[in-house]
Amino acid sequence: MKIQAIKTRIFKPKEKLLPFITSRLPSIKEKTILVVTSGRLVKKIDENTKLEIIKRESDFVLPTKYVYLTIKDGQIMANAGVDESNANGQIIMLPKDSFKTTRLIRNYFKKKYKLKNFGVIITDSRCLPLRAGITGMAIGYAGFKGLKDYRRRLDIFGRPFKYSRVDIADSLATAAVLCMGEGDEKQPIAIITSAPVEYSNRINKNELKINIKEDMYGPIFKILRK
């Protein structure tokens, strides 16, 4: 697998995303995954209004020492994705519908370059429990299956897997974000080639979600909700 991060100029407020990407990618080859860091730029707001937005965007909000720990769209994230980094005095919010946005991006480039096997990922960053630093995550994706199921398969000694599934979408997002950077690299786009994925025109956007009652971290959330 190969990842190429693409350096760009600064994305301007109210600028159209597709022409911006096209200007840096004159062509896209078959069996490629396009990775984009994308969000909604909105005017800087005061802290009280920011908190109201975070609450409105979240299914669960818990204040912590540094940020508000939230659950949004089935994922744990800081501040429901509301971010002031690299925003030049504004704030960045997640797309209203990340999966719809990835489909639109995919359909545009698939048609433009006559592609059959082509995927798109929209990324954001997250922190993991008890681990320092941030990693990438896929807040939306299209064109490939995001989950690989090993259950009922055999391991190298013939023992059947009972629980193992691989989160393909977030794994790719993490690798891409590592190459794209989180600071002043100005690399909001990446191209992944030779990825070990199963391309598909249809995906289940809920395939990575898990019921909190079935989650191994479920007992922690049960305590927090009391």
Please provide the average confidence, as pLDDT, over all residues in the chain.
Answer: 90
Widest pairwise Cα distance in the chain? 59
Q: Are 30 and 116 in contact (CB under 8 A)?
A: yes
pLDDT at 82 over 80: yes
pLDDT at 27 over 60: yes
pLDDT at 225: 60
Instruction: Tell me the pTM.
Output: 0.91
Mean pLDDT over residues 12-31, rounded?
90
Closest CA to 137 of 146, 203, 6: 146
* Topology of domain 2-39+96-224, CATH: 60s Ribosomal Protein L30; Chain: A; (3.30.1330)
Q: Residue 128: pLDDT above 60?
A: yes
| Reported confidence tier of residue 161, pLDDT bands at 50, 70, 90 | confident
SS (H, E, C) the chain: CEEEEECCCCCCCCCCHHHHHHHHCCCCCCCEEEEEECCEEECCCCHHHHHHHHHHHCCEEEECCCCEEEEECCEEEEHHHCECCCCCCCEEECCCCHHHHHHHHHHHHHHHCCCCCEEEEEEEEEECCCCCCEEEEEEEEECECCEEECCCCECCCCCECCCCEEEHHHHHHHHHHHHHCCCCCCCCEEEEECCCCCECCCCCCCCCCCCCCCCCCHHHHHHHCC
Q: Parse the chain into domains and list their residue ranges.
A: 2-39+96-224, 40-94
Least confident stretch, 30-39, 135-144, 193-202 = 30-39
Query: Measured between alpha carbons, how far is 98 from 77 in angstroms, rounded to an integer?
Result: 15
What does the pLDDT look like over 47-79, one tens digit per residue? 888 888 899 889 889 898 889 999 888 888 999
Tens of pLDDT along 90-120? Answer: 788 889 899 999 999 999 999 999 999 999 9
